[in-house]
Structure formats: C-alpha cells, structure tokens
Structure 1
C-alpha cells in the first residue's frame, strides 16, 4: 500500500504570480469518517477514485486509481453541489521541489493551500516566502472537512 507523506500550509497571495497554468479539480466525498476517506475527483478530463487511511502526523496510507471519466462523473453526480470542493491546482517549483498550490472557488473562495509531498517524514524542505501557517495537523483544512462548506477561521490558531 502506498504512503502519502505531505505537509500542508496556508498560502498567501504572493504565490499568485507563480501560478501560471492550472488544472480545475472538482471532488466529492463518497465516504468519510474519523479514519477513512473515499473521494472521487475530476481533474480536467480525467477522473480518479482515492481511498485515504488514518493520518499519523504527515503520513497516511493512500490508494488512488484512475477510472473512466463517465464513471467519475456519475459518482460525482451523487454528491450534492454544496458538498463538493472546487479548486484550481497549480504546480509551483521552489528550490528544486514542486508544490501543489490549490486556489479554492465557490464557498471557499479566498482560501489558498500549498502542499508538498515528501519521500520521508523528516525530509528537509526549503519553505517558500509565500507560505503562511502550517496546517498539516489541523483537521479543519482536510479537503473532506472543507467539502462540508465551512471556511475555517483563518485567524484562529
């Protein structure tokens, strides 16, 4: 089983000049509880099903498989519009690493998150100047929670 090892940060608007060509992502959650998540995602003209297991720090098990676009669209249609996450994902290079910068739309308009995937949890990563507070362990910034439509209070600790 694959491991996802990532750190997540709030991003500031200073990243926007680095965001050139993005991919529209629309995702909905078919199942989520305190430990497991099953997500369907449309990324441009492709669709994916993803299962994520319990998170421990920056690490969690993840299995993702591409599915036919029609299947992804049918599964996504079962998720109410107000319970989907819509964002544009940009790939931004900094100090030899690639960051995924998500600029959210709809009810989450104004929220920007940056994630970096790592080979191991204690990997040293050069942090760009456009990062804000780290939210890796803050449950409010899990996409499955954001899909419930509540914008986290960006000023809360």
Structure 2
C-alpha cells in the first residue's frame, strides 16, 4: 500500500525564496469523510486525482494518479467544494530531503507552510533555518480543512 509519511511546519522569514522557482497549484476536494479524502489537483500543466486514508500520527495511505488536465479542470469547476486551494509550491532540496514550501493565495493568503516526506516516521531531520513551528498534528493545517475553515478566518493567528 502506498504510504505518505509527512511532517508539516510553518515557514519563517524569506531566505527560502531564492532556493527554487514556484509552480502554481489549484486543488479541490470532491469528497471528505472521516478518515478519507478525494482530491483533484492541477500542478502547472498536469492533473492528478488523489485518494488519502486516515492519518495515524504523521502516516496515511495515499494513492495518486495522473489524469488529463482537461478532466482536472472540469472536476475543479463542477465537483469540488469551495473555496479551492490556490498556492504556489516551491521544491527545495536540503540535506538529502525535498522540502515543499506552499505559499497560499486566495482565502488562505498569508499562510506559508513547508512539508517534508520521510521514509520512516522516526527519521531524524535537519531543519533549515527558515523552518518554524511544527504543525503536523494540528488538523487546521490540512489542506482539506483549509477549504472549510480558511486561514483568513483565523483572525491572523495560527
């Protein structure tokens, strides 16, 4: 079973901005129930359909499939809850890991978060200087929850 092991952190400062070029992402959620999420995403010029299982700590099952971009656009337009998640993703390699920094736009403007996928839940990592508070266990920061309760509604506080 494909598994995602991921830690999430808030990003501080701007030192990360010179380390990579960003790619525009638009994603929405077709279905979200207890322990299951179905997401459609456009990343640059590619479409994806992703199914994720329940989170156990920082681990969950994940199945992702490439789909035609026209299908992804149609699904985002007709099937997904609003607001869509709009963000720019920067992939930054540091200390043998790839950090994905997401700078959110739209209803989640002001939120900048970094994720790193690991091979083991107990894997030790060196945190870059631009990594702030860990939010891996705070469900408010799950993209699927940012649709229902966007960052702009948090009163400026994380």
TM-score by length of 1: 0.92
Is the aligned partner of 1:141 residue 2:149?
no
Work out the CA distance in 2 between the residues paired with 1:57 and 1:154.
27
Which residue is equivalent to 1:76? 76
- Secondary structure of 1:123 counterpart: coil
TM-score by length of 2: 0.91
Q: Is the 2:83–2:107 Cα contact (8 Å) retained in structure 1?
A: no
Contiguous gaps of at least 5 residues in structure 1: none
- Secondary structure of 1:102 counterpart: strand
Work out the CA distance in 2 between the residues paired with 1:43 and 1:62.
17
Which residue is equivalent to 2:34? 34
Which residue is equivalent to 1:150? 150
Which residue is equivalent to 2:115? 115
- Secondary structure of 1:121 counterpart: coil
- Return closer, same or farther for 1:154/1:131 CA change in 2, 3 Å cut-off: farther
Contiguous gaps of at least 5 residues in structure 2: none
Give the number of equivalent residue pairs: 156
